[in-house]
Amino acid sequence: MIIYGINPVLEALRAGRVRELRVGGREDGRMQEVLALAGERGVRVRRVPADGLDRDARGGVHQGVVAVVDATRDYSVDELIRAAKGPPLLVVLDGVEDPHNLGAILRTADAAGVDGVILQSRRSAALGGVASKVSAGAVAHVRIATVVNIARTLDELKEAGVWTVGLAGDAPTPYDQVDFRLPTAVVLGAEGAGLRRLVRERCDLLAAIPMRGHVASLNVSVAAGVTLFEAVRQRRGRSLPSDSLCGKHRPGV
């Protein structure tokens, strides 16, 4: 897999995933940091012309460095849950196909201390290239599980005691009335289309981010950030509204 850009390559080097480094152009302070870390890790460095880097990065902004990296380890859903140091906080992406949005969500997930992100093997943006660049290297650190069927995965999460909260603009429950201190998976739908019907029906609860302006919804990566940092706020021990929801009753349980 190819990634490019200073931050993604640095994080991949720190994670021990780089097999080969390809560099060109000036060696300023940050590039020297990349080369020094590559030397420490025993990574092969090749000098290539700028047009070679352009081809490798497929026109992306590579900042003079491209890396060949090992594929991201694919975790199981059970491994994500067991690796959590407290009540699991997971993100489930139902058909997010824009690599810019995927990268931004991974960056936010890393910043919020999310225990893992679950993607569907089909109808999902690729993890390399653009997504890695936009994530500022977070793709090297966030645990990711790839599954065949998101709806069935939500059932698996429920069986493991994880509450599934889908974001939907028409939901009656405000997102800040959900009790995110419980084991929770935040479920986000595709750009424009939102959650698919079966996925929506499998969620324990649907929640909305109230909109006060003229637009009807937020970009999916922004919605992820708003919701995940509400979870962070609650998990720091701040008080919740007295009518907070989630965890009171799960249909069928």
Asked if the model's pLDDT at residue 179 lies above 70, the reply is: yes
Higher confidence at residue 236 or residue 245?
236
Q: Indicate the residue among 42, 69, 96 that finishes a domain.
A: 69
Q: Indicate the residue among 69, 96, 123 that finishes a domain.
A: 69
In the numeric block, which tokens belong to residue 43? 């990574």
59, 103: one domain = no
In a domain, 150, yes or no: yes
β-pair partners for 174 = 208
pLDDT-derived band of residue 214, with 50, 70 and 90 as boundaries? low
Kind and range of the H or E run holding 93: strand 89-94
Domains in the chain, number: 2
Burial state string for 78-89 with b = 16 or more CB within 10 A and e = fewer than 16: eebbeebeebbb
Q: Are 236 and 180 in contact (CB under 8 A)?
A: no
Whole-number Å distance between alpha carbons of 57 and 4: 6
Beta strand pairing call for 89-94 and 163-167 = unpaired
Q: What residues make up the domain containing 205?
A: 74-235
pLDDT-derived band of residue 112, with 50, 70 and 90 as boundaries? very high
Whole-number Å distance between alpha carbons of 93 and 195: 9
Supply the CATH number for residue 176's domain. Answer: 3.40.1280.10
pLDDT-derived band of residue 186, with 50, 70 and 90 as boundaries? very high
46, 82: one domain = no
7, 103: one domain = no
Q: Report CA torsion sign: 27, 31, 33, 35.
A: negative
Asked if the model's pLDDT at residue 238 lies above 70, the reply is: no
Higher confidence at residue 63 or residue 159?
159
Q: Indicate the residue among 49, 69, 89 that finishes a domain.
A: 69
pLDDT-derived band of residue 251, with 50, 70 and 90 as boundaries? very low
95, 199: one domain = yes
Supply the CATH number for residue 14's domain. Answer: 3.30.1330.30
